[in-house]
C-alpha cells in the first residue's frame, strides 16, 4: 500500500516526466544529416572571419567559395531533422540563415549593397532567434 508521501512523490515524478515533453529519437541518418548544419555554420563563421581579418587581402572568389559551401551545406539539411532540434527551426533556418547566405552571394556577385545590408539583417535576426531559443534547441552530440 502506498503511503501519502510515496503517492505524492509518485505524482511529482510522473508530472516531471510528462512535462519534460516527448523524447525525440535521432536515427543515425538524422545524426549524419545534421552534420550539414554544423558544416554550414562553420563555413559561415569562416566567411565572417575572412572578411574581418585585416591581415588577409580580400579575394572575392575565395569569399564566394566559402559562402557557397555554407549555402550548399545548409540546403542539404533536412527540414524534418531541423524540426527534431526545434519545431520552429526549419522555417527560421531557411528564411533567416539560408536566405542571408543567398543574399550575401548575390550582393558580392552583383555589387549590390542593399542585398548586403539585407543579408546582414537576416543573419542578425537568425542569431537573435537562435540565442533566444538556445536552451530549447536539442541536437545530439
Average pLDDT, the chain: 88
3-state secondary structure the chain: CCCHHHHHHHHHHHHHHHHCCCCCCCCHHHHHHHHHHHHHHHHHHHHHHHHHCCCCCCCHHHHHHHHHHHHHHHHHCCHHHHHHHCCCHHHHHHHHHHHHHHHHHHHHHHCCHHHHHHHHHHHHHHHHHHHHHHHHCCCCC
In this prediction the pTM is 0.82
Q: Residue 78 — very low, low, confident or very high, per pLDDT cuts 50/70/90? A: very high
Lowest-pLDDT range of 10-24, 41-55, 71-85: 10-24
* Domains in the chain: boundaries: 27-136
Q: What is the mean pLDDT of residues 57-74?
A: 97
Amino acid at each position: 500500500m502506498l503511503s501519502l508521501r510515496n503517492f505524492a512523490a509518485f505524482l511529482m515524478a510522473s508530472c516531471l516526466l510528462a512535462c519534460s515533453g516527448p523524447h525525440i529519437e535521432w536515427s543515425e541518418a538524422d545524426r549524419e544529416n545534421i552534420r550539414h548544419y554544423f558544416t554550414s555554420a562553420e563555413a559561415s563563421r569562416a566567411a565572417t572571419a575572412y572578411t574581418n581579418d585585416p591581415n588577409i587581402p580580400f579575394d572575392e572568389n575565395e569569399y564566394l567559395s566559402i559562402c557557397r559551401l555554407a549555402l550548399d551545406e545548409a540546403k542539404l539539411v533536412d527540414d524534418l531533422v531541423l524540426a527534431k532540434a526545434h519545431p520552429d527551426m526549419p522555417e527560421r533556418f531557411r528564411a533567416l540563415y539560408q536566405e542571408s547566405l543567398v543574399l550575401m552571394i548575390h550582393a558580392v556577385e552583383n555589387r549590390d549593397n542593399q542585398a548586403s545590408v539585407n543579408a546582414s539583417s537576416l543573419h542578425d535576426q537568425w542569431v537573435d532567434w537562435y540565442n533566444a531559443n538556445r536552451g530549447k534547441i536539442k541536437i545530439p552530440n
